Chain A
Amino acid sequence: MTRPANPLKYIPSLAASHLRHEWILTFCLVIALAAVIAPLLVLLGLKYGTIQTLRERLVEDPVFREIRPSQTREFSPQWFEELSVWPGVGFYTPTILPLSSVISVVHGGSNSAELIDLIPTAAGDPLLLENGGVVPADGEVVLSAEAARRCGVQSGEDIISRVTRSRGGRMDFVEERLRVVSVLSPRAGSLARVYAPLPFVLDVEGYKEGYAAPSRGWAGETPQPYPSFDGAILLLPHPMLPIARSGLVINTGFGRITDVSAERVKELLGFSPPHGFGAYDLLAPGTPVTMTNLRAIDQKLRGQTRVLLPYVRGVTIESGGKSLSPIGLSLTSEQAQLLGVPETPWGGYTGNSPEDGRLVHTLWPEGETSADEMHVRASGIAELQFDLRVIGTTSFGRPVVPIELMGILRTASQRAISFNQKTQRFEMARGGYRGFRLYAESIDDVPQLYYKLKAEGIEVIAEVEAIERIRVLDQGLTRLFWLIALLGLFGGTAVLVSSLYAAVERRRRDLGVLRLLGFSRLHVFFFPIAQGLMVAILGLLAGFGGYAALAWVINHAFATELAPGEAFCVIPSQYIPVFCFVTLVLAGLASLVAGWRATCIDPAEAIREQ
């Protein structure tokens, strides 16, 4: 006959009717709550708004995200690979030695050249992108405002960049026409700078160090590794007079010439000099012997029958788990004939490396292997791995390889060299970079990157202080906000507790009637709670209304200080539900006392009225 009774669902509407009936009291209560809520919201808005404005002003300028090394030191490519996965790294590019990065810039018709620093850049460079620039492609550059002023160029015009070097007392230079794709705003820095893609900057650096850049048609040394030696053995059919001997090394780069025993020659070259020959050791203590030194000696002995053989000591290779000390020897057939030893299939030493893969040919001791190729490893700055082609045998008891190969392996112990399997050539591996340009993803990432780099022993400079200052201010304001919020919290809760409690006391009889009509203790318990929540919701609405009005006034009053889109008083939207939720929870808690009081009302009181 009846649906299951659920009196509880009528409590909210009864509570609402009660509030509406006593609307003046309700209004006062709502205003009291709003008077607590609105100032808190304004305070929160001011705290957030000012901090946000200060932060955004920092965030806007990439300078505050920059971390730059304060010392020049070497950073390996591997180090940059590690850096790229560090959290908080927004952009980085390696840079070169500051001295190598100055180029002359000539504009159009004028002959005057400006010396300007060349800075590498790459895709995503915030310094360029956030200062009105674009990232230049190959053949393009971006100029700083000062550089553009000095050169008198504008975006869209061409400049001629001139890279100079001095080689052996001679001045070389190359020129490259580059298009200025944009000029940065003065905010990007007051120095004259040319920003160009990293590969171009590296080519400039290489050219200045004497290397060629074939792709740009810049002449110079190939980046092939040069062989270097520990010394040379000079073999003469007739021993030299002492006076000729001491004159021989003058101005050749060699420091000393000494007699050398037949055993020593055999150890270094694999064979003993023929009987009656004079054997001399040419030494350059402390410096490597190069092609130039050998040529100088050769010049002085012109017209004489002689054999000059460079040698390398102490270079070992590893093959099949065995350590070998190969003999480096390159002999022409004439030399071989003169010395009475077999000639080497790769020819004599000319200063140029044997071509067509003959650089990695070898003669293997008889009977020690039947393989055509021997995979070998050599240690150095970077480990080298390559295959030696066995093209014959030797009776020297140790493998014989071209002296040029030994020279390169010696160089590899001082500079990084790699073996290119495809071209069968050795190549100079790029050494490290001399610095970097690093931008953190956000200003909040700057301190941790700053301290992480410092922990690696890298001295860096960053605007950590400006960022920390804002953080400290934020912390201070947050603490202040919480103090005032706590005060408001107590006030607001006290207002609610007392008002709701008073309402229960005032309405004892009505609550008693409700009990009599069939509401249980639990049901009337929710009567003040529903009222507390309703008052809180109304208070929130009024509070947010008051906040909105005040925030508008504040933001308009300070409009002249603010850039468009900035505001001194603003609450992030994600705070609003949290604020509302906390208020409602507090209102619910505040009404618990009144709720408990309501349950104590005896329905008999309603009957016993007056």
Chain B
Amino acid sequence: MVRLEDIVKRRSQSESVFELQVPSFAVHPGQMVAVIGESGCGKSTLLDMIALVMEPTEVARFEISTGNTGGVCDVAALWARGDEGALSALRRDFFGYVLQTGGLLPFLSVRQNICLPGRIKGHPILPGRVGTLAKRLGVAGCLDRMPESLSIGQRQRVAIVRALAHQPRLVLADEPTAAVDKARARAIMDDMQRLAEDESVAVVVVTHDVDLIMDRVEVAYTFDTIEVSEQLTRSTCRLVKEHSP
């Protein structure tokens, strides 16, 4: 569904250069994929590229299959063309996002936040579906409140509902449990996993918490970071697990 081959992203920060190399990365429909690593290893850079908000420096292949018909979208070509509109359209049509602290819009109510992706996609979410999803994640009572009045755990759950409500094909979750304690993190992760399975949505979770994620995912990637020179740090993405449990 998402396939990356031989992608390099080079970022320079004052004197030093950070280089991320991704020889091969793939997400298949319905799959849950983990991207694990310490901070600074490049996992966020990888997520940005998958999320279509960061342009790779070098790319051999970057494709997203759009829908069941087998149509394939050449993201590399879109970046080359600078077709910002098409990238935005891909984002709203195929992706859902769960950010570290939810990424909810503070000026919209919980319900408006959940419905927004569907509305801008041109495919409004039925009120019943919002209710059902909210109930399953235990936030049904919060629907008409503003995000700022929710606890962080509630916000994360609402963010998961928002990421799934408009039926995306892939949910990108960036450290979705970073701000909550272990027990709550486990519960949130359980909810997300269950929901993704039910909705048959692929999920890419970026986290530094190996314990939390390893037994839930079919595929996991991590990074090998080496300091090539004083200026250059190179990090290479590597597959660590495939089809276990």
Contacts and interface: CB of A to CB of B under 8 A. Distances in A.
Contact of B105 (A510, A523, A607, A610): A510
A516 B51 contact: yes
B123 interface: yes
Contact of A515 (B53, B116, B121): B53
Majority SS at the chain A contact face: helix
B91 interface: yes
A602 B120 CA distance: 19
Contacts of B92: 5, 7, 517-519
Interface residues of B, number: 35
A517 B91 contact: yes
A603 interface: yes
Contact of B44 (A518, A520, A603, A608): A608
A173 B154 CA distance: 115
Contacts of B121: 2, 5, 518
Contacts of B100: 607, 609-610
B44 A607 contact: yes
A21 interface: yes
Contact of A517 (B54, B101, B117): B117
A324 to B, nearest CB: 98
Nearest to B103: A513
B48 A519 contact: no
A607 B123 contact: no
A20 B106 CA distance: 11
Contact of B108 (A6, A17, A518): A17
A466 interface: no
B6 interface: no
A514 interface: yes
B53 A1 contact: no
B54 A604 contact: yes
Interface string B46-64: 0110010110000000000
A516 B120 contact: no
A508 B91 CA distance: 19
A3 B103 contact: no
B120 A518 contact: yes
A2 B122 CA distance: 6
A607 B51 contact: yes
Interface in A1-43: 1-7, 10, 14, 17-18, 20-22
B85 A607 contact: no
Nearest to A11: B120
A562 to B, nearest CB: 50
A520 B120 contact: no
Contact of B48 (A21, A509, A513, A607): A607
A443 to B, nearest CB: 57
A513 B105 contact: yes
B123 A1 contact: yes
A602 B104 CA distance: 17
A4 B146 CA distance: 30
A522 interface: yes
B47 A5 contact: no
Given A5-B120, A607-B51, A521 B84 contact: yes
B137 interface: no
Contact of A607 (B47, B87, B106, B146): B47
B93 interface: yes
B115 to A, nearest CB: 10
Interface in B87-102: 87-89, 91-93, 95, 97, 99-101
A505 to B, nearest CB: 15
Contacts of A510: 105-107
B19 interface: no
Interface in A123-170: none
A602 B97 CA distance: 15
A606 interface: yes
A520 B121 CA distance: 12
B241 interface: no
A519 B120 contact: yes
Given A517-B117, A607-B53, A3 B123 contact: yes
B93 A5 contact: yes
B140 to A, nearest CB: 22
Interface in A513-561: 513-523
17 contacts: A1-B123, A2-B123, A5-B89, A10-B120, A14-B107, A17-B107, A514-B105, A517-B97, A518-B89, A518-B92, A520-B85, A604-B54, A606-B99, A607-B44, A607-B51, A607-B97, A607-B103
Given A518-B117, A518-B121, A609-B99, 11 more contacts: A2-B123, A5-B122, A10-B116, A17-B108, A515-B88, A516-B97, A516-B103, A517-B91, A520-B89, A522-B85, A607-B100
Lowest 10 A-B CB distances belong to which pairs? A518-B92, A21-B107, A5-B122, A520-B88, A7-B120, A603-B53, A2-B123, A3-B122, A18-B107, A518-B91
